[in-house]
Amino acid sequence: MPECFYSWCGNSMNAPRGYISSFLPSFPIVAPLFAISLAMNYPLAFTSLAVAVAVCIAVCRHKASFRAIPGPPSPSWIFGNMLQLWVSSPYGKYEFAWLKEYGNIYRLKGCFGQDRLMVSDPRAVQHILNSVNTFRISPILETLLHTIQGPRGIQAVRGEEHRRMRTALNVAFTASAVRQYQEIFEKVARTISSRLEAASEDVVDVCHVLGAGTLSAIAEVVLGRSVEELDEELVQVLSIIAVQETRHTPGSVIANALGALLPQFSLLKHVVSLLPILGLLRKTRKLATRLGTQVIEEKAAALENGMDPGDDLYAYLLRQNTTLTKEDIAKQTVILLTGGQDSTANTLTLGLLELARNPELQEKIREEIQSMTNSSHDNKPLLNALIKETLRMYPLEPLVERIAQRDTVISLTESISTMAGERMDHVPVHKGEVVIVGIASYQRDKSRWGENPDKFDPLRWVDGRVVKGEAIGPYANLLSFFGGPRTCLGWRFAVLEMQTIFSELVGKFSFALAEGEPDDLCVQLAVSLQPSDAKGNKVVPLRVTRLL
């Protein structure tokens, strides 16, 4: 392939040639031609690429609404700032520097020179998340959701059907409903304690232990089944997914950009559906739905025969006689198992890592837990401050992209200055333009979270540094559980689970960094934000010592 092509990628990112080959087949129409041309010779391949680029240029030629807004320089025409944003390690290496330099509204360059608007301004974020019909997810993400959950999954349905299903499911996630799962969480927390105590080594990978523990919790709370009663193949694939290499790559960045530019080409979505990880996810959906159907049928039969179906979430939904069919409930099994396991485990793991880095803070929280054993978890300020601060620093989904479905205007909390020095208190957005909601950036806004927002400091939640502004997210004004009509249904469930497990573990064990090992653990963006060592492995080895 001609050298001029590689120069377009931008020297600063040093994109390997293998990446270029990986993303080209993602382009609709050109993909088959490119595959054939590779088998024959490079000239035709380059012609195919030229056609693809020409189409992109034609699509991008309209004048962007964001051109007057300041932003960082682009190191690459093909990738723009997207590799810096999505693929950097640790996550936020560039994004948080841009936040300090340009504020909470700035322009980024997307792939092929397309402008994108990066948004962490509170009023703008709230508007975008609430306007689900104006700002939609990308076609690529829509395909992924359908592949993972099926067309009846709560995150895959849209409009009135989503509202109906969400209202019906919500009865099992109210504050009173969630409290009934307390005993199950306590049982699971004790099981995790036993596993830590039984570990043959002092240094334990808490990622693995907590992943297994949260799977136990979600299985018992949702299905009324222990992990041992689950299908062995399902447990195996869930374990694989928990550690699967699913980080963003230059290829995935390009595919997503083309999906936003050319949403009318359904072939692109079919190409994405062939990604290897999705085969595993389809298998997980099949196994989980089969299990959910079996459990629902058994519990429905028990109710019809006047028997007790159990105290789990599915039994609760059946007792409530909601508008959900048995099939509707069974179809949610895959998202409840996968989302409920990995998200909570990651937050717990990162919280323990931060406590290992701060022994003094760890001891203060331990003293509170041990002195308030008979109190409600909600009455333990330091314990809850730990949870809030972990969620603030490490939101599982730090970025979300939305595509405008019509021309609209986004109002801002404070006016910004354009490159020409003019002030603007709103940003016009044209149909088809992409905005990126920076959840991680929003949660590092000094005006909202107080001094040193880049520092992990749970005490900010008890000393008055956190500003009580207009509520955007459902918990502590954070967006870690998202916001708007698509706020995570299970946020109370997750908070109670974390309260219970943190209370059990920190009350009984001390956690320290492994001696003689460099503290090179960080977070990287995969399907969600997750802990990682220097080699990219999802592991967090900590020295665990029993105290009680």
- Binding site members for heme: 488
Q: Tokens at residue 316, please?
A: 């609760």
Nearest-angstrom CA–CA distance, 228 and 40? 53
Which residues, at least 6 apart from 430, have a Cβ–Cβ distance to it below 8 Å?
62, 64, 65, 404, 407
Nearest-angstrom CA–CA distance, 243 and 123? 36
Count other C-beta atoms under 10 Å from residue 359's C-beta. 13
Q: Tokens at residue 352, please?
A: 């323990």
Binding site residue list: 488
- 4 SS3 class: helix
DSSP state, 512?
E
Encode burial over 399-430: b for 16+ CB neighbours within 10 A, e otherwise.
bbbbbbeeebebebbeebeeeeeeeeeebebe
Which residues, at least 6 apart from 209, have a Cβ–Cβ distance to it below 8 Å?
192, 195, 196, 199
Torsion, CA 262, CA 268, CA 270, CA 273, rounded to 10: -110
Query: Pick from 390, 399, 485: which is nearest to 108 by CA?
Result: 399
Q: How far is CA 546 from the centre of its chain?
A: 33
Which residues, at least 6 apart from 513, have a Cβ–Cβ distance to it below 8 Å?
356, 357, 519, 542, 543
Are the C-beta atoms of residues 302 and 319 closer than 8 Å to each other? Answer: no
Q: How far is CA 178 from the centre of its chain?
A: 23
